[in-house]
């Protein structure tokens, strides 16, 4: 099935009030708590950086045995409030073993941050293209099946009664926990829509990552769940070939 054509606009701006269910499922952190958890965002705790900003490892004083990943908005980022609230709203409603758990968020003045369960084994991309570790075919198969199950959960609306199109499926957005179980992450570009219709697509501004983007979506702006499936197919080719989706010059790999 494909999502129906949706003409309604979903307001994800900071002024949009959070639903009560979201407040119950997500903890609202202060910036002081996040600063304390990361030694004032010390670079030694930085574990990565994306379009939204840097990601830090952190531990809270009221839970010293657990490690969390804290993603802080970079003021110079081309992402911002819209992507932040989309992620908060999406992940507050989604509960699945192959979706990265959102623990909470911070929205304080100009500061925005997201707090996730820490994924001990990083990203699938790093294991395929950067790390010295070699994943076995059994591990890779388990990771691919887990990611596919996560996408199926999103697309069929199992937990939300609405389908979710991720719109940025790629190997760097597939995280691995301590058991190498796959968790789909980064929902800042995701789109929602009803699943009880049979027709076509969501019209939206084209966004995503070069090399993974569905050509039909790129040229027409018509987003369907097939766009996620295409991107996941690229991930499978990465796993099989060991080659990245695009080369260093920005042209697609053959």
Residues in a beta bridge with 222 = 203
Q: What is the CATH number of the domain that holds 57?
A: 3.30.200.20
**In a domain? residue 246:** no
Q: Which of 82, 97, 117 is the last residue of a domain?
A: 117
> Where is 173: in which H helix or E strand?
none
- Integer Cα distance of 219 and 155 in angstroms: 22
Q: Which of 117, 135, 161 is the last residue of a domain?
A: 117
Number of domains in the chain: 2
Q: Are residues 230 and 131 in the same domain?
A: yes
pLDDT at position 233 is: 97
pLDDT at position 189 is: 87
pLDDT at position 53 is: 84
pLDDT at position 175 is: 96
Q: Are residues 52 and 132 in the same domain?
A: no
pLDDT at position 212 is: 95
**In a domain? residue 217:** yes
For this structure, is 74 an active site residue?
A: no
71 is in an annotated binding site: yes
**In a domain? residue 248:** no
Instruction: Note the Cα 167 to chain centre separation in Å.
Output: 9
pLDDT at position 158 is: 60
Q: What is the CATH number of the domain that holds 198?
A: 1.10.510.10
**In a domain? residue 141:** yes
- Integer Cα distance of 50 and 168 in angstroms: 13
**In a domain? residue 29:** yes
Q: Which of 61, 91, 117 is the last residue of a domain?
A: 117
**In a domain? residue 197:** yes
pLDDT by 10s per residue, the chain, length 254: 333 333 333 333 333 333 344 444 688 999 999 999 999 999 999 998 877 789 999 999 888 788 999 999 887 666 677 888 888 888 888 889 999 999 999 999 889 999 999 999 999 999 999 878 889 999 999 999 999 999 999 998 765 567 889 999 999 999 999 999 999 998 888 887 655 554 445 666 788 888 999 999 899 888 888 999 999 999 999 999 999 998 765 444 43
**In a domain? residue 75:** yes
Compute the Cα dihedral for 129, 178, 79, 56 and give only its sign.
negative
Q: Are residues 53 and 158 in the same domain?
A: no
Q: Looking at 39, 74, 126, 168, which residue is catalytic? A: 168
Angle subtended at Cα 146 by Cα 218 and Cα 125, rounded to the nearest 5 degrees:
60
Q: Are residues 132 and 89 in the same domain?
A: no
H helices of the chain, where? 20-25, 31-37, 81-93, 124-129, 137-156, 215-220, 225-241
- Integer Cα distance of 105 and 114 in angstroms: 4
Q: Are residues 187 and 113 in the same domain?
A: no
Q: Are residues 134 and 42 in the same domain?
A: no
Containing domain of residue 70, as a range? 20-117
Q: Are residues 224 and 158 in the same domain?
A: yes
pLDDT at position 230 is: 96
Q: Are residues 155 and 111 in the same domain?
A: no
Angle subtended at Cα 85 by Cα 81 and Cα 86, rounded to the nearest 5 degrees:
115
Compute the Cα dihedral for 183, 188, 191, 195 and give only its sign.
positive
């Amino acid at each position: 099935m494909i999502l129906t054509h949706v003409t309604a606009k979903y307001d994800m701006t900071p002024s949009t009030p959070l639903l009560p269910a979201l407040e119950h499922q997500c903890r609202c952190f202060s910036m002081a708590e996040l600063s304390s958890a990361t030694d004032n965002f010390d670079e030694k705790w930085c574990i990565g950086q994306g379009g939204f900003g840097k990601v830090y490892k952190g531990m809270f004083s009221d839970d010293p045995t657990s490690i969390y990943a804290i993603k802080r908005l970079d003021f110079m980022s081309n992402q911002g409030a819209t992507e932040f609230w989309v992620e908060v709203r999406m992940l507050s409603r989604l509960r699945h073993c192959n979706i990265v758990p959102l623990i909470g968020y911070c929205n304080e003045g100009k500061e925005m941050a997201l707090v996730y369960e820490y994924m001990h084994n990083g990203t699938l991309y790093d294991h395929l293209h950067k790390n010295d570790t070699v994943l076995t075919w059994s591990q890779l198969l388990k990771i691919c099946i887990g990611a596919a199950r996560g996408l199926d959960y999103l697309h069929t609306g199992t937990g939300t009664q609405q389908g979710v199109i991720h719109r940025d499926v790629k190997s760097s957005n597939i995280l691995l926990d301590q058991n190498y179980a796959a968790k789909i992450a980064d929902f800042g570009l995701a789109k929602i829509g009803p699943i009880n219709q049979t027709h076509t697509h969501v019209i939206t501004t084209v966004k995503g990552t070069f090399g993974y983007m569905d050509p039909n979506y790129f040229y027409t702006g018509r987003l369907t769940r097939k766009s996620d499936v295409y991107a996941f197919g690229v991930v499978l080719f990465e796993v099989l070939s060991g080659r990245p989706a695009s080369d260093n010059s920005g042209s697609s790999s053959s």
